[in-house]
Chain A
């Protein structure tokens, strides 16, 4: 549980003995107007744009489009947060997580503490802009931590060093010590959003399959972790094969496929209690590839009977089953558009796997993939503007994105085996599974941004395929 607060702006002149006043406010305090004003004051804001895929930003003169041949990451400084009582290691650790979040995007570059001229000893002390300008920091993040008992309070301010202005208002988060990483992610999310204009995504979780054992007898169990691989918890044991978990839109439920009954069927887990129930087992069938509708009330999935797989939907309670496709080919991997009106899926009705879009109520489908090779596992971006997919061509696998009409296909990765993209809550980063070849081949999660830059492994505690990103945490 975390509480947001707004911190009054830094006083123009320091008043001796005065500490920063705080005002309780549940609302995210940076309005878009605030942000636009702030952006205009920043000399070089980064916008995660992909040429042609994203509408031109409102402040075009500040734009550094990621599509350009070279992106210069924005240099920033983040001194250890000020200890305002009992902070201990949190003062350093929280600043380190914020720095790792920002640098991990590839859009920011940290100026190490050894280079800092100024020391920040008080959260409300005036910023020595010239000291930060001298080391070329464009953004400065100043924070403070106070800890007592089971409560931690983290606050921060973001400064545009070259114009000598705060960028947005200070923010404060209060929570339990166990949520210190979440508070750090919230700080990083606010900084990232203010500077890029994109939605936040660091304060999020990922459900995945944790693997162990040899390739011909893999043990699989469901794991869940922070987006950066921290705070791992296991949700099932390894007694049955489990595949392809998916978060509900509110993050409180997980759909997955399990062989628990001896045959593959869909189950739904309550994340809080870990209670699991079967979702409509039907004799003689296999059910798989489930996903929630955006309102969380419907599950769309594949049902196989007599060797033929088609797409069905069902109420999350288990009733109201409807058949959405009816073809002798393989129809699978359905994913709703964020407005719930359409479903993108894969079918080999043309002879090989291709991507199609149909109404959420079924009916005629339009093929949108048109390039060479096979296309599968389409996933609609939470922003609605793109579809991520797996492409197989000439013995290689790729993760790619295309517009929802199939135009402007862009391959982001290439390897022996890449598959199963999942979108970050802001629709700007994709996580996927990469598996290496051979007897010792292992699965590893990677992330890449929609421009194809910044390909990075996700730090899991063992081989891990089948990631699904949660929504942004509240």
Chain B
């Protein structure tokens, strides 16, 4: 494992940049009802098209998936095209794509499924011109649900891939 020291450095750097965005696990983008024009989260003014809040709420920071699937829907592809355009304009940002699964599955399979979903988004964004060096993926499996009920209404929102912005290029 001669690559290890480099890997640790890379990951440490990413970990730091990820912290610039408190919107972990996509929990802060539920319509912005409590945000208004006040920059309470360090996400910027949602009316400023260059703000993280604008990306999260207006462009859309997430795509949803069918049960046990990682195929992007037509709606999902539209959102990701918007993300790619925004990232082209706002080149100071890198992204971490978080893949998530609902709770209906075994822990390790869901980790792999979340990784598959994150990779589907990464591959689509790459096809839309986002530089691979700006993108990282991570799977949380079923460990970080957004909604906590055990019904399809919650599950459908938990089966997601969330594009989390961070300052600076990823590598």
Contact = CB atoms under 8 A, between A and B. Distances in A.
Nearest to B99: A307
B170 to A, nearest CB: 11
Nearest to B13: A262
A420 B116 contact: no
B138 A261 contact: no
A217 B144 CA distance: 6
A441 B149 CA distance: 9
Contacts of B116: 307-309, 330
A446 to B, nearest CB: 16
A283 interface: yes
Given A264-B139, A281-B8, A282-B1, A288 B108 contact: yes
B139 A283 contact: no
B143 A304 contact: no
A250 B130 CA distance: 49
A437 interface: yes
Contact of B109 (A217, A284, A306, A330): A330
Nearest to A288: B111
A283 B148 contact: no
* Interface size, A (range): 35 or more
Contacts of B143: 218, 241, 243
Contacts of B70: 307
The A contact surface, by secondary structure, is loop
Contacts of A308: 116, 119
B113 interface: yes
A332 B145 contact: no
Nearest to A416: B150
A243 B11 contact: no
Interface in B102-140: 103-109, 111-113, 115-120, 122-123, 136-140
Nearest to B17: A262
Interface string B18-50: 100000010100000000000000000000000
A332 B108 contact: yes
Interface of B: 1, 3-4, 6-8, 10-12, 14-15, 18, 25, 27, 68, 70, 103-109, 111-113, 115-120, 122-123, 136-140, 143-150
Q: Enumerate the 3 nearest inter-chain pairs by beta-carbon distance, A residue then B residue, closest first.
A: A307-B119, A262-B15, A437-B150
Interface of A: 214-218, 241, 243-244, 261-264, 278, 280-284, 286, 288-289, 302, 304, 306-309, 318-319, 330, 332-333, 346, 348, 352-353, 376-377, 390, 392, 416-417, 419-420, 435, 437-439, 441, 465-466
